[in-house]
């Protein structure tokens, strides 16, 4: 019983970690996409930096 319980805990931790990683990636990508339209933003876009 304890083994299946432990595997369930590890599996739920994996799901939570994966969800957090996906959410943070989505936030970073949406922030970059939003700030790409503003020329005065603090984020230096690689394409704009190359020119």
Q: Which residues, 6 or more positions from 42, have their beta carbon under 8 angstroms from its beta carbon?
A: 35
- Residue 2 CB-half CA count within 13 A: 0
Global pTM reads 0.49
pLDDT in tens, 1-44: 556 778 898 999 999 999 999 999 999 988 776 665 555 555 55
DSSP collapsed to 3 states, 1-51: CHHHHHHHHHHHHHHHHHHHHHHHHHHHHHHHHHHHCCCCCCCCCHHHHHC
Supply 8's token pair: 């369930």
- For residue 47, name the pLDDT band (cuts at 50, 70, 90): low
């Amino acid at each position: 019983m304890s083994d299946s319980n432990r595997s369930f805990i590890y599996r739920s931790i994996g799901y939570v970690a994966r969800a957090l990683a996906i959410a943070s990636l989505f936030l970073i990508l949406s922030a970059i996409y939003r700030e790409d339209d503003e020329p005065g933003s603090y984020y230096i876009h690689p394409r704009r930096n190359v020119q």
